[in-house]
Chain A
Amino acid sequence: MFKLIIGLMAFSVCNLHAIEVTHIVSPGGNFLTTSTARSCSTFSVDRDSVSCNPALYALSQAQGLQLSIVGKAEGSSIDTGKKLIFEPITESLIKDLFQKNSYNSFSFNSSISFFTPYFKLSYSPYFALADILIFNPAFPEISLALTNRSTLSLTSGFSLNPLFNSKSIDLNFGYTLNFYQQTISQSRFSLFDLSSTKPDQLIKFTDKKGITPDLGTLLELKDLYSLKISAQIKNIATKYKINEERAASAYYLEHKYIFETYSQLGIGKNFQTQYGGVNFNIEGFFESYYKSFDFSRTTVGLRYDLGLFALLSSISKNYRTFGMHFLSQNFDVGLTYISEKNIGRYQQNFDNGAYLGVDFNL
């Protein structure tokens, strides 16, 4: 019996799948979604929370122009990621990385959004993710996942209350139509390959273009403590598919809950007190169309706001965040401190860092 258990354990270790990499920065995301690790789909409505759930657009009255950036601003791996994205990949860079951490990552999103009473038009010229894992010290190997995506998005929403004619529920629906162009590289090679092969032959990029909608709903049960329930499906019918062949192979980095089709379910409650507002939300993530529930990505999100100041926090198995958001009429700044494990159990320790978000509102 003991041998059988040992045998099963050995099999489970040998039968490794691609390493799933998650990030709290997402396409279409902003500082709010990043600080709450995307657990904000039932938060009270404002200009920022529309990025959490398109159904919130039905309740939004935001108008005007917004320029927004959010990205990793501090952490042991930030320089690495920036070099991987913005500089040519050379042998010396890879060897330099090898001297540092075994896992490094970088994430960044930028957008310009135009809010009208009927729709939100948004263009994101850069959504960049860079992940690099160096493993097998005896015979060093490198696994890379690099992505840069530009997206044009149209978001709108409307109330479905006239269909029900009930005062006890408030049901809203929203959608985002994304037109995207994406450059991706998922590579794995030995450190010794660099001496015989040029990096641009080892790290090959492929381009993808497509149209993919996101759908979202928000239900408020007014008779049941005004509890809010949200359901979202992201990247419907996207061309981005997880490569099955590579997924079965160990040590390939595969981005998860970012580009492929996935679903979210959120439950939350908002409180307005004389001393500020409190928003509470639990968000669950599912693969594909609500197929497989992923407990490790389940996240609790919190927001406390008073006037032009907000505290944001989230906690899940792999992410712990604490952020502060400072707003003014035309200029917002947010800082979030984070402990993260983007590759989950493959990362021994939490990587501590900070994310910075800046918005200009016109």
Chain B
Amino acid sequence: MISVTGVSHDLGGRAVLHDIELEIPKGKVTALIGPNGAGKSTLLSLIARLARHCAGRIMVDELEVGVCASNTLARRLAILPQSSEIAPRLTIEELVAFGRYPHHLGRPGKHDREKVAEALTLFDLDPLAQRTLDTVSGGQRQRALLAMIFAQDTDYMLLDEPLNNLDIAASRSLMALLQRLAREHGRTVVIVLHDINYACAYADHIVTMKGGRIGPQGDAETLVDGRLMHEIFGTDAVVHRIGGRTFVAV
């Protein structure tokens, strides 16, 4: 379980997170939703120690973020940041292989190579394995980055808007894959999503954020309704429930 207690954060003197209290359940897909500037990405990057939080405490199971060794955390938790400007001349296989670095520190063994092969196959990257990142499409690049995070083989995966650059087919298969990772492999997935419909369809748990504070949370069916859309997003979108599923009309 990831537990965040009393976390506040400033960016350039401006408070972006206020006294956050949050518990993210283990083995589930948790979606973070909210308007632009709500602090979702900031919260995610604090949990992944990309920035040092100003106040409060973040625990990933028994590991305290910022206190435990960075390498230890890298074997427990992985993050895919929003815009990863990553070495364009690497081949996809080389990039995915980097996911194993926290485990082997530069000397990959047989097990590491198997994990890389597994990730390449799972993300359907085998035919692209020897292509360099600057010669593949945005969606393929995104899949390669996800495969790297997957190969890192961590209990927790944090994804910051991974559906950017992906078309509907790729988005659906990625979300289905994340759901499978949670259900079958017991991985915990925390994902920042822009499109609420994807959150409703695939997340087990939805956390809303607004203005640097945590809003209501729950599952799609009980949480998402017209009032929530108005309160959190400030728009009067109509919410439909069809066949036990929730849809926000856009």
Mutual binders A and B? no
Interface set of B (CB-CB < 8 Å, partner A): none
Interface set of A (CB-CB < 8 Å, partner B): none
